A = this chain, B = another copy of it.
């Protein structure tokens, strides 16, 4: 709905009786939590009142946050909040537990929950929403995907009139940073990762980001919201970006491409194609120019075609905007005295990453005569057409990288051939096979 605002001096009837503001408890006073508190304090959206802040050892934080109203109650005992009559719990501690239990208990007692917890939403989102609605509450999770980019509301409200068939985007800033560094400085994955950790862009345990689990949770949520597909939290295949070497960017450049961690999903008649993996993208694509913590998602609708959403995918303030936008939505719903629920059921489709696409195959071989002929024969037998072969000069014959690109074919067909190819004696390491996004 896009109503223009009623002037203050002429309120519409629905607003003629001022309502009690909804009380808000923030669980977790880190960068996002303190930004949420700051927006609630400085911007002061109508109908919301910050009442509680939960944090372990909160004394230092309370002292620093002297701009917060003294009537706000600080606590390190979660029971103070869960057993209170607070209207909305903002969960920002992250991780599956104890956050999952806290959310479940809040929902169970009729509270609304706003969360940026992609892991909990990816696993338990649908059931939590149903439970909340049954008790007159809401569960909102705009902050769980792409931080401050208004993606969830855009898919669910702004594009509600379309039937979305495809989503494709960059959902993890850490991978984006690491890949950009390999590209621009020619350093190894390990060096780029160490640098990202040094600057605080990557965790000590980087698997969540670089192996694609973070993006997987986000894509799972997007498949439900945008494509209306029921997807389990581990159903979508992921591949790590750790296989990427500087040479891959050199060859990608010859193809007028770069490499990004791409999350994508495509609804076909019988199945949901989806994956999170390093992918070649054209330099002219908006995906190629996404920098650092930026996120960008392109949605394709059956009727309306392509739409792009981009912005800050991380950061305290941007994510806090998503949280506060969800809080305001709950106020608006509460004002009109009901619960919103989107009626169409989610569709269960088998999930597969077997996209039909062009492929980039980078081999690392001990050079000897007949390598290309051997590979070409295997591909020919599988019915796969080679599109191009690239071999940059200047490499040692004992560790020679070269690239074959394939005409569009199914990924499973390529994987089948690679099983055989990866056994060949001249290969120094397994082939790096990446899809090329067109």
Spell out A's residues near B (CB within 8 Å).
1-15, 35, 38-39, 43, 45-47, 121, 125-126, 128-130, 132-134, 138-142, 148-154, 156-163, 224-225, 228, 230, 286, 289, 296, 301-312, 315, 317-318, 320-330, 332-333, 335-346
B304-A318 in contact (CB<8A): yes
With a cutoff of 8 Å between Cβ atoms, the chain B residues found around residue A343 in the complex are 5-6, 11, 15, 46-47
B14-A325 in contact (CB<8A): no
- A150-B307, A311-B306, A346-B7 are contacts. A161–B320 as well, Cβ < 8 Å? yes
B12-A341 in contact (CB<8A): yes
A340-B46 in contact (CB<8A): no
A325-B5 in contact (CB<8A): no
Per the bound structure, the CA–CA distance linking A395 and B133 in Å amounts to 72
Most buried by B among A296, A308, A312: A308
Could you pull out 13 A-B pairs where Cβ atoms are within 8 angstroms? A2-B141, A3-B341, A7-B346, A15-B343, A39-B162, A152-B158, A157-B329, A304-B321, A305-B311, A305-B312, A309-B309, A335-B338, A336-B338
Output the nearest chain B residue to A131 by Cβ-Cβ distance. Answer: B12
A2-B326 in contact (CB<8A): yes
Nearest CB of chain B from residue A140's CB, rounded to whole Å: 5
Output the nearest chain B residue to A339 by Cβ-Cβ distance. Answer: B14
A338-B337 in contact (CB<8A): yes
B162-A158 in contact (CB<8A): no
- A interface: dominant SS: mixed
With a cutoff of 8 Å between Cβ atoms, the chain B residues found around residue A296 in the complex are 308
With a cutoff of 8 Å between Cβ atoms, the chain B residues found around residue A312 in the complex are 304-307
A1-B336 in contact (CB<8A): no
- A303-B39, A305-B311, A333-B1 are contacts. A325–B134 as well, Cβ < 8 Å? no
Nearest CB of chain B from residue A152's CB, rounded to whole Å: 4
Output the nearest chain B residue to A156 by Cβ-Cβ distance. Answer: B2
Per the bound structure, the CA–CA distance linking A305 and B149 in Å amounts to 10
Output the nearest chain B residue to A329 by Cβ-Cβ distance. Answer: B1
Task: Choose one: B151, B162, B286, B336; the contact of A321 (CB below 8 Å).
Answer: B162
- A2-B326, A46-B344, A129-B4 are contacts. A321–B159 as well, Cβ < 8 Å? yes
With a cutoff of 8 Å between Cβ atoms, the chain B residues found around residue A158 in the complex are 142, 150-154, 157-158, 322, 325
B322-A161 in contact (CB<8A): yes
Task: Choose one: B7, B150, B225; the contact of A345 (CB below 8 Å).
Answer: B7
A321-B133 in contact (CB<8A): no
B308-A309 in contact (CB<8A): yes
B150-A157 in contact (CB<8A): yes
With a cutoff of 8 Å between Cβ atoms, the chain B residues found around residue A5 in the complex are 126, 129, 224, 228, 341-346
A43-B12 in contact (CB<8A): no
B325-A160 in contact (CB<8A): yes
The 3 closest A-B pairs by CB, nearest first: A150-B158, A161-B324, A336-B338
Per the bound structure, the CA–CA distance linking A328 and B158 in Å amounts to 10
With a cutoff of 8 Å between Cβ atoms, the chain B residues found around residue A134 in the complex are 12-13
Nearest CB of chain B from residue A229's CB, rounded to whole Å: 11
A162-B14 in contact (CB<8A): no
Nearest CB of chain B from residue A224's CB, rounded to whole Å: 6
Output the nearest chain B residue to A139 by Cβ-Cβ distance. Answer: B3
